[in-house]
Structure 1
Amino acid sequence: MKNIVKFAPTLILFFSLFNSQAQNQKIDAQKIKSINEFSNGQFIAKISDIVVDDKLFYFLDIGLFKVFATDQNLSYVNSYGKEGPGPKELSKPQQLLIQGDSNILVFDLAQKILPFNRFTGEIKESLPFKKVVTHHKTLLIDDKLYYSDLLEPLVTVHRYSLTDEKEESGMGETAKAVTMGSHVISDEKMIYSIYGENQPVIQTFDLTGNLLYSQDLSELKIFSDRLAQKAKSGVKISGTGNIKLRATGRVFVQDAQLFQGKLYMLIPQVSKKESNRTLFNTILVFEKQDAVWKYSQEIQLPIDGTYLTFKVFDRGKKLVTFETVNGNMETFNISNQ
């Protein structure tokens, strides 16, 4: 008994380290399929956003001004939308949202939202929306939009009524402008704003808009290493002729998704082949413990690719992405079993 007590701290430390390593698993995504044209012969230009329902993927191609629907094997099903300045045309499309049982909303920087019937392709009359919403995730709850507006970056989350066509009170404020925008997502219990620039942060709000918690992610090693990167400033140190180094590392959350209680974030990594090139090919996975999101997994996409957007599907076992270097839509197996 004495020996067991003597070694108990060592055993606790061992199991603690073991559990910590087990929780932070690294998964190499296994490619299932890659296409650069749809099965109807239409080439893919540039996909800025993806939404998923029970059976289909919907891709917004901002180069072709179209929404494409495919099955989960990336086989073509339908497409709709055309380029133009009219109220039922796409001029500067940016992102997608599913609304209700049949509609899909296309956000256009030409200050409008276009509702499409995602089954028939019927285009309804556009809605006015005079806000600058880029590719960052926008949330829709009932008739309320929650979004990041680049013209008003000190407010973390803006709220807008589609029914009344007017802005309501904002949620949260920052001391420093969120110039890169933020992703706004929800688990139906809370609303989360995720932004990353020089200080990656997750803010948690209740559904009425009260800020409950603000979590700084910059101490995570994968972020702190990135933020600590230095480059020559161009300023000479007096008397030595040496060039002063300054911190230039930045963290930018390219895309984010909440899926079955897990938070997925697409972040940049420095290319292993070209040190001056940044690639978006790493997805961090967080799981919530009490009020805090705990880093649990890292999904590594192909190291020579850079990805603009993604969606996890099939009970968290797979993901679909757009790789921008080669213009490919790709699906991956991310199950570690």
Structure 2
Amino acid sequence: MIKKGIILLGTIMFACSSPDNDKKQLELIKSIDSFNEDTFFSKVSDILSGENGLYFIDQNQAVIFQTDFDLNYQRQFGQPGRGPSEISSPLNGYIDNSGLYIYDSGNAKIIKFNPHEPENTPPIDLSFKYFDIGQFIVEDGQVIFNSRRNTENPIIVHDFAINEATKMFGSPADKSLNVPKRHIEKMRDNLLTIYAENLPVIEEYNNEGDLVNKYDFSELKIYSDLLAVDNMSGLQIKGAVQPLTVYKNVIWESKLIDEKLYLLSLSKKSETEVKSNSIVVLDCSNNTIKYSHTLELPQKGWYSRFEVLPTNKIVAFDEVNGTLDLFEMTN
């Protein structure tokens, strides 16, 4: 049973600086703007890594592309539309041994594919009724996700079998942040929820819904420098500064892999230019979370989606140039 009471057992602050020698470069080894002359991707809204390769969710075309770990095209699946086994505007995904789950924001549902079955195998349309969710986790017939609209109980556990939200918990969104949580990860037996904009905070909940740790890394130099600039940017209107959303520092996506939490950080100058685009790496071993290092992404456009591969590489989608870029992590 999920408790609604919140117990704060401790608050852990990150180190207040990130020296330049903590920054590591990524070496670009491959960049593509399509898989072949007949197969083009449009807007990649999520990238997932499975046993047999990579899966790219194309939001605009409402299809999923499958490649190997070197971005060599294998196949595509998914049918655009409004029908029971069709998808419209897919945003996020989750993959495990049982299949590939896609959150279809256009139809407010989750649909399950089995990539190991023949291409003509229809997907399973799972019951769902929520719009505007963040990242999600599928576990034991349930989907666990952050609701960006419900700030009183931001974590919702939805049971597919009975078609209703059976549990809701989590502390209300911090009003000083003025934004609810967006990302969610499973760390051992606990859940991590991550605020998205301007003041990155991670909260850790146990299975009973109790808040057991809160990690505030806003004092990390990589963020404090960006926020100092953000606070000065905006439009001057009759003595009041109106902030511009394009200047916000945003945690765009998170990935928890092998006890390392990767956070894609983005701060934009305009719709096509960035001030900073990097991946902050946090160490989640030893039952705590600590800053490790930062991976610097090229600033030729801006990267909105990424995945860490088992081959010590990272693939990321450049939203401006419309390319999938494959990087090698260097020491």
TM-score normalised according to structure 1 size: 0.82
Q: 1:39–1:277: structure 2 CA closer, same or farther, 3 Å change rule?
A: closer
- Larger RCO (CA under 8 A, 6+ residues apart): 2
- Number of aligned pairs? 306
* Match of residue 114 from structure 2: 117
* Cα separation, 2, equivalents of 1:180 and 1:277: 26
Residue in structure 1 matched with residue 254 of structure 2 by the alignment: 256
Structure 1 CA distance for aligned equivalents of residues 288 and 71 of structure 2:
36
Match of 2:64 in 1: 67
Call closer, same or farther: CA 1:309–1:275 in 2, change over 3 Å. Answer: closer
Q: 1:80, CA displacement in angstroms?
A: 0.7
Give 2:79's aligned residue: 82
Q: 1:303 aligns with which of 278, 299, 304?
A: 299
Instruction: Give how far 1:117 is off.
Output: 1.5
1:268–1:41: structure 2 CA closer, same or farther, 3 Å change rule? same
Which of 159, 162, 169 is equivalent to 2:160?
162
Partner deviation per Cα, 1:129-163 (whole Å, 9 max, x = no partner): 111244x3211222221111123123232111122
1:37 aligns with 2:39: no
The aligned counterpart of 1:293 is 289
Larger Rg: 1 or 2?
1
CA contact (8 A) 1:251 1:268 kept: yes
Residues 314 and 289 of structure 1: CA distance in aligned 2, closer, same or farther (over 3 Å): closer
What's the CA shift for 1:306?
0.7
**Is there any run of 5+ residues in structure 1 with no aligned partner, and where?**
1-16, 237-242
> Any unmatched runs of 5+ in structure 2?
1-14
The AA in structure 2 aligned to 1:263 is L
CA distance in 2 between partners of 1:251 and 1:292 (Å) = 24
Contact 1:268 1:282 in 2 (8 A): yes
SS at match of 1:29: strand
In the alignment, the residues of structure 2 paired with residue 276 and residue 37 of structure 1 have an alpha-carbon distance, to the nearest angstrom, of 20
Measured against aligned partners, the alpha-carbon deviations of 1:260-293 in whole angstroms (never above 9, x if no partner) come to 111100011355xx79943662000011365542
1:55 aligns with 2:52: yes
How far, CA to CA, are the matches of 1:221 and 1:99 in structure 2? 36
Asked whether the 8 Å contact 2:204–2:211 carries over to 1, the reply is: yes
Q: State whether residues 269 and 282 of structure 1, in contact with CA within 8 Å, keep that contact through their aligned partners in structure 2.
A: no
Contact 2:183 2:253 in 1 (8 A): yes
Given candidates 317, 324, 329, the residue that maps to 2:319 is 324
Identify if the C-alpha distance between structure 1 residues 247 and 62 changes in structure 2 by more than 3 Å, giving closer, same or farther: closer
In structure 2, relative to structure 1, the CA distance for the partners of 1:77 and 1:276 (3 Å cut) is closer
Question: 2:101 maps to which residue?
Answer: 105
Alignment partner of 1:234 is 2:236: yes
Measured against aligned partners, the alpha-carbon deviations of 1:31-81 in whole angstroms (never above 9, x if no partner) come to 111111114631110100011112310110111110111001111111111
**What corresponds to 2:131 in structure 1?**
132
1: CA distance between counterparts of 2:128 and 2:272?
38
2:202 matched to which residue of 1?
202
Identity of aligned residues (%): 28
CA deviation vs aligned residue, 1:159-198 (integer Å, no higher than 9, x gap) = 1112222212223122546745411111333210011324
Greater CA drift, 256-265 or 157-166: 157-166
Mapped contact 2:266–2:274 kept (Cα < 8 A):
yes
Letter of the aligned partner of 1:46 in structure 2? K
SS in 1 for 2:320: coil
Amino acid paired to 1:231: S
Q: Which residue number in structure 2 is paired with residue 335 of structure 1?
A: 330
